[in-house]
Copies of this chain bind each other. A is one copy, B any other.
Protein backbone atom coordinates (compact mmCIF):
# COMPACT_ATOMS: atom_id res chain seq x y z
CA UNK A 1 0.00 0.00 0.00
CA UNK A 2 1.31 3.39 -0.95
CA UNK A 3 1.31 5.92 1.84
CA UNK A 4 1.19 9.56 0.97
CA UNK A 5 2.50 11.88 3.64
CA UNK A 6 0.89 15.25 3.73
CA UNK A 7 3.17 18.17 4.51
CA UNK A 8 1.78 20.73 6.83
CA UNK A 9 0.79 23.05 4.06
CA UNK A 10 -2.52 24.82 4.28
CA UNK A 11 -2.94 24.98 0.53
CA UNK A 12 -5.89 23.73 -1.44
CA UNK A 13 -5.84 20.60 -3.52
CA UNK A 14 -2.77 19.95 -5.60
CA UNK A 15 -2.50 18.15 -8.89
CA UNK A 16 0.17 15.51 -8.84
CA UNK A 17 1.57 14.88 -12.31
CA UNK A 18 2.50 11.26 -12.12
CA UNK A 19 1.95 8.23 -14.28
CA UNK A 20 -0.44 5.77 -12.73
CA UNK A 21 1.07 2.52 -11.53
CA UNK A 22 -2.08 0.47 -11.47
CA UNK A 23 -0.12 -2.79 -11.51
CA UNK A 24 1.52 -1.86 -8.22
CA UNK A 25 -1.55 -0.35 -6.63
CA UNK A 26 -2.92 -2.17 -3.63
CA UNK A 27 -6.46 -1.57 -4.83
CA UNK A 28 -6.26 -3.73 -7.93
CA UNK A 29 -8.99 -6.01 -6.75
CA UNK A 30 -11.58 -3.26 -6.58
CA UNK A 31 -10.88 -0.50 -9.01
CA UNK A 32 -11.22 -0.60 -12.77
CA UNK A 33 -8.22 -2.90 -12.93
CA UNK A 34 -9.84 -6.04 -11.62
CA UNK A 35 -9.47 -8.98 -13.95
CA UNK A 36 -7.43 -7.17 -16.57
CA UNK A 37 -4.42 -8.56 -18.39
CA UNK A 38 -0.96 -7.10 -17.78
CA UNK A 39 -1.06 -5.36 -21.15
CA UNK A 40 -4.44 -3.84 -20.40
CA UNK A 41 -3.29 -2.63 -17.00
CA UNK A 42 -0.25 -0.99 -18.59
CA UNK A 43 -2.41 0.90 -21.05
CA UNK A 44 -4.83 1.98 -18.35
CA UNK A 45 -2.00 3.13 -16.12
CA UNK A 46 -0.45 5.09 -18.97
CA UNK A 47 -3.67 7.01 -19.32
CA UNK A 48 -3.63 8.24 -15.75
CA UNK A 49 -1.37 11.24 -16.09
CA UNK A 50 -2.14 12.82 -12.79
CA UNK A 51 -3.72 12.48 -9.41
CA UNK A 52 -5.37 14.93 -7.15
CA UNK A 53 -4.97 15.49 -3.45
CA UNK A 54 -7.69 16.97 -1.30
CA UNK A 55 -7.73 18.33 2.21
CA UNK A 56 -10.48 17.40 4.59
CA UNK A 57 -13.69 19.20 3.74
CA UNK A 58 -12.65 19.99 0.20
CA UNK A 59 -14.89 19.14 -2.77
CA UNK A 60 -13.57 16.89 -5.52
CA UNK A 61 -16.51 18.11 -7.59
CA UNK A 62 -19.85 19.76 -7.09
CA UNK A 63 -23.22 19.15 -8.73
CA UNK A 64 -23.28 21.09 -11.97
CA UNK A 65 -19.53 20.93 -12.59
CA UNK A 66 -18.57 19.89 -16.10
CA UNK A 67 -17.69 16.23 -16.45
CA UNK A 68 -14.30 15.24 -17.84
CA UNK A 69 -13.00 12.44 -15.72
CA UNK A 70 -13.89 9.75 -13.22
CA UNK A 71 -11.91 9.43 -10.02
CA UNK A 72 -10.84 6.17 -8.45
CA UNK A 73 -10.09 6.83 -4.78
CA UNK A 74 -6.51 5.95 -3.89
CA UNK A 75 -6.50 7.08 -0.31
CA UNK A 76 -8.87 8.65 2.13
CA UNK A 77 -12.61 8.87 2.53
CA UNK A 78 -15.41 10.76 0.81
CA UNK A 79 -19.08 11.44 1.02
CA UNK A 80 -21.34 11.99 -1.98
CA UNK A 81 -24.59 13.87 -1.61
CA UNK A 82 -27.45 14.93 -3.83
CA UNK A 83 -29.74 17.82 -3.05
CA UNK A 84 -32.80 19.64 -4.32
CA UNK A 85 -33.49 23.34 -4.54
CA UNK A 86 -35.54 23.33 -1.39
CA UNK A 87 -32.53 22.48 0.69
CA UNK A 88 -33.08 18.78 1.22
CA UNK A 89 -29.78 16.97 1.05
CA UNK A 90 -29.16 13.25 0.97
CA UNK A 91 -25.82 11.54 1.50
CA UNK A 92 -25.77 8.78 -1.10
CA UNK A 93 -22.54 7.06 -0.19
CA UNK A 94 -19.19 7.04 1.56
CA UNK A 95 -16.67 6.13 -1.17
CA UNK A 96 -13.38 4.75 0.07
CA UNK A 97 -10.18 3.53 -1.60
CA UNK A 98 -10.96 1.39 -4.63
CA UNK A 99 -14.33 3.02 -5.27
CA UNK A 100 -14.72 5.14 -8.37
CA UNK A 101 -16.35 8.56 -8.18
CA UNK A 102 -18.16 10.41 -10.92
CA UNK A 103 -20.26 7.92 -12.86
CA UNK A 104 -23.41 9.90 -12.16
CA UNK A 105 -22.10 12.55 -14.53
CA UNK A 106 -22.02 10.48 -17.71
CA UNK A 107 -25.75 10.83 -18.30
CA UNK A 108 -25.79 14.60 -18.68
CA UNK A 109 -22.15 15.61 -18.94
CA UNK A 110 -22.37 17.40 -15.60
CA UNK A 111 -21.95 16.02 -12.11
CA UNK A 112 -25.22 15.34 -10.33
CA UNK A 113 -23.86 15.25 -6.80
CA UNK A 114 -21.20 16.75 -4.57
CA UNK A 115 -18.18 14.69 -3.60
CA UNK A 116 -16.55 15.92 -0.39
CA UNK A 117 -13.38 14.58 1.20
CA UNK A 118 -14.01 13.51 4.80
CA UNK A 119 -10.29 13.42 5.42
CA UNK A 120 -7.16 14.25 3.48
CA UNK A 121 -7.51 12.10 0.39
CA UNK A 122 -6.06 11.28 -2.97
CA UNK A 123 -7.71 10.21 -6.21
CA UNK A 124 -6.52 9.20 -9.67
CA UNK A 125 -7.78 11.34 -12.52
CA UNK A 126 -9.08 9.14 -15.34
CA UNK A 127 -10.17 11.19 -18.37
CA UNK A 128 -13.43 9.59 -19.34
CA UNK A 129 -13.18 10.01 -23.09
CA UNK A 130 -9.87 8.23 -23.08
CA UNK A 131 -11.32 5.54 -20.85
CA UNK A 132 -14.08 5.00 -23.40
CA UNK A 133 -11.56 4.88 -26.23
CA UNK A 134 -9.41 2.38 -24.41
CA UNK A 135 -12.34 0.22 -23.42
CA UNK A 136 -13.25 -0.06 -27.11
CA UNK A 137 -9.88 -1.67 -27.66
CA UNK A 138 -9.77 -3.94 -24.62
CA UNK A 139 -12.86 -5.98 -23.93
CA UNK A 140 -11.56 -6.82 -20.45
CA UNK A 141 -11.50 -3.17 -19.53
CA UNK A 142 -14.84 -2.59 -21.18
CA UNK A 143 -16.49 -5.35 -19.21
CA UNK A 144 -14.91 -4.25 -15.95
CA UNK A 145 -16.20 -0.73 -16.53
CA UNK A 146 -19.68 -2.14 -17.04
CA UNK A 147 -19.36 -4.22 -13.91
CA UNK A 148 -18.35 -1.24 -11.80
CA UNK A 149 -21.30 0.75 -13.14
CA UNK A 150 -23.64 -2.15 -12.48
CA UNK A 151 -22.25 -2.61 -8.98
CA UNK A 152 -23.19 0.94 -8.19
CA UNK A 153 -26.76 0.31 -9.33
CA UNK A 154 -26.99 -2.79 -7.15
CA UNK A 155 -25.62 -0.95 -4.15
CA UNK A 156 -28.12 1.86 -4.64
CA UNK A 157 -30.96 -0.64 -4.86
CA UNK A 158 -29.93 -2.18 -1.55
CA UNK A 159 -29.76 1.24 0.02
CA UNK A 160 -33.28 1.91 -1.22
CA UNK A 161 -34.38 -1.21 0.60
CA UNK A 162 -32.66 -0.02 3.76
CA UNK A 163 -34.28 3.41 3.51
CA UNK A 164 -37.69 2.11 2.57
CA UNK A 165 -38.11 -0.89 4.81
CA UNK A 166 -35.74 -1.07 7.76
CA UNK A 167 -36.18 0.28 11.27
CA UNK A 168 -33.67 2.60 12.84
CA UNK A 169 -31.57 0.06 14.75
CA UNK A 170 -31.60 -2.28 11.78
CA UNK A 171 -30.34 0.48 9.52
CA UNK A 172 -27.49 1.30 11.85
CA UNK A 173 -26.54 -2.36 12.24
CA UNK A 174 -26.61 -2.85 8.47
CA UNK A 175 -24.49 0.24 8.00
CA UNK A 176 -21.84 -1.02 10.42
CA UNK A 177 -21.80 -4.46 8.81
CA UNK A 178 -21.39 -2.96 5.36
CA UNK A 179 -18.52 -0.79 6.57
CA UNK A 180 -16.96 -3.81 8.21
CA UNK A 181 -17.13 -5.83 4.99
CA UNK A 182 -15.70 -3.01 2.97
CA UNK A 183 -12.77 -2.62 5.34
CA UNK A 184 -12.18 -6.36 5.20
CA UNK A 185 -12.11 -6.27 1.38
CA UNK A 186 -9.46 -3.58 1.58
CA UNK A 187 -7.26 -5.45 3.99
CA UNK A 188 -8.15 -3.47 7.09
CA UNK A 189 -9.60 -4.78 10.29
CA UNK A 190 -13.25 -5.67 9.93
CA UNK A 191 -13.68 -5.77 13.68
CA UNK A 192 -12.35 -2.40 14.73
CA UNK A 193 -12.25 0.78 12.71
CA UNK A 194 -12.67 4.52 12.76
CA UNK A 195 -15.88 6.18 11.64
CA UNK A 196 -14.66 8.91 9.39
CA UNK A 197 -18.01 10.64 9.25
CA UNK A 198 -20.07 12.44 11.91
CA UNK A 199 -23.26 11.12 13.46
CA UNK A 200 -25.14 13.65 11.42
CA UNK A 201 -23.64 12.37 8.17
CA UNK A 202 -24.41 8.79 9.16
CA UNK A 203 -27.96 9.80 10.00
CA UNK A 204 -28.35 11.66 6.75
CA UNK A 205 -27.14 8.61 4.84
CA UNK A 206 -29.50 6.30 6.73
CA UNK A 207 -32.54 8.54 6.63
CA UNK A 208 -32.36 9.17 10.38
CA UNK A 209 -31.64 12.11 12.66
CA UNK A 210 -28.29 12.25 14.39
CA UNK A 211 -29.90 11.72 17.79
CA UNK A 212 -31.45 8.50 16.58
CA UNK A 213 -28.07 7.26 15.37
CA UNK A 214 -26.53 8.16 18.70
CA UNK A 215 -29.26 6.34 20.58
CA UNK A 216 -28.87 3.28 18.39
CA UNK A 217 -25.13 3.23 19.08
CA UNK A 218 -25.72 3.60 22.81
CA UNK A 219 -28.26 0.82 22.80
CA UNK A 220 -26.05 -1.53 20.78
CA UNK A 221 -23.23 -0.79 23.18
CA UNK A 222 -25.39 -1.38 26.26
CA UNK A 223 -26.33 -4.75 24.76
CA UNK A 224 -22.67 -5.62 24.28
CA UNK A 225 -22.95 -5.81 20.51
CA UNK A 226 -20.48 -3.03 19.79
CA UNK A 227 -18.05 -0.84 21.70
CA UNK A 228 -18.10 2.75 20.54
CA UNK A 229 -15.94 5.58 21.81
CA UNK A 230 -16.51 8.66 19.73
CA UNK A 231 -15.38 7.70 16.21
CA UNK A 232 -13.62 4.53 17.30
CA UNK A 233 -15.81 1.50 16.81
CA UNK A 234 -15.33 -2.16 17.66
CA UNK A 235 -17.71 -4.97 16.83
CA UNK A 236 -18.01 -7.18 19.91
CA UNK A 237 -20.65 -9.62 18.74
CA UNK A 238 -20.77 -10.01 15.00
CA UNK A 239 -23.39 -12.72 15.18
CA UNK A 240 -25.84 -10.57 17.07
CA UNK A 241 -25.11 -7.54 14.92
CA UNK A 242 -25.95 -9.61 11.85
CA UNK A 243 -29.17 -10.77 13.47
CA UNK A 244 -30.20 -7.20 14.18
CA UNK A 245 -29.35 -6.21 10.64
CA UNK A 246 -31.62 -9.02 9.53
CA UNK A 247 -28.95 -10.92 7.67
CA UNK A 248 -29.12 -8.05 5.26
CA UNK A 249 -27.69 -9.95 2.33
CA UNK A 250 -29.52 -10.18 -0.97
CA UNK A 251 -31.38 -13.38 -1.68
CA UNK A 252 -30.60 -15.50 -4.69
Given A112-B154, A251-B83: A161 touches B106 (CB 8 Å cut-off): no
Query: At the interface, yes or no: A132 with Cβ under 8 Å from chain B?
Result: yes
Q: How many residues on A have C-beta within 8 angstroms of the other chain's C-beta atoms? A: 60
Given A106-B147, A139-B136, A149-B146: A160 touches B160 (CB 8 Å cut-off): yes
Binds B, one of A23-31, A48-56, A88-96, A186-194: A88-96
Question: Within residues 109 to 135 of chain A, which ones have a CB less than 8 A from any CB in chain B?
Answer: 110, 112-113, 132-133, 135
A165 neighbours in B (Cβ, 8 Å): 88-90, 207
Query: At the interface, yes or no: A63 with Cβ under 8 Å from chain B?
Result: yes
Question: Within residues 61 to 100 of chain A, which ones have a CB less than 8 A from any CB in chain B?
Answer: 63-64, 82-90, 92
Query: At the interface, yes or no: A107 with Cβ under 8 Å from chain B?
Result: yes
Q: Which residue of B lies closest to A203 (CB)?
A: B164
Determine whether the beta carbon of B150 is less than 8 Å from that of A150. no
- Copies of this protein in the assembly total 2
Query: At the interface, yes or no: A105 with Cβ under 8 Å from chain B?
Result: yes
| A252 nearest CB across to chain B (Å) | 4
Enumerate chain A interface residues (CB-CB to B < 8 A): 2, 63-64, 82-90, 92, 103-108, 110, 112-113, 132-133, 135-137, 139, 142-143, 146-154, 156-161, 163-166, 204-207, 246-252
